[in-house]
Structure 1
Amino acid sequence: MAALGATSTGSSAPVTLALTLRRHIDLARVSSAVCR
């Protein structure tokens, strides 16, 4: 839950959110590849 801690700073919130989103996308790609 790093995004919750970044919301207090404000400036780094978008960066943390983007990194978290990218991580979820990568995990989704890996899981879909494994399912195949």
Structure 2
Amino acid sequence: MGKMENYTHRMESSGRLRKACAMNIFKEATKRKIEI
């Protein structure tokens, strides 16, 4: 979970468009239960 939080936080600081991408990746990761 920590890795995912780090990843999302990094994407957030990159901008709104990136944040949307991060949310998509997060949803996919949750659906597939994979770790990024």
TM-score, length of structure 1 as denominator length: 0.53
Higher relative contact order (CA 8 A, sep 6+): 2
Query: Aligned equivalents of 2:31 and 2:16: distance in 1?
Result: 23
Q: Is the counterpart of residue 23 in structure 1 residue 29 in structure 2?
A: yes
| Residues paired across the two proteins, number | 27
* Stretches of structure 2 lacking an aligned partner (at least 5 in a row): none
Structure 1 vs Structure 2 CA RMSD? 1.1
After TM superposition, what 4+ stretches of structure 1 lie above 3 angstroms from structure 2? none
* Stretches of structure 1 lacking an aligned partner (at least 5 in a row): 28-36
Identity over aligned residues, as a percent? Answer: 4
TM-score, length of structure 2 as denominator length: 0.53
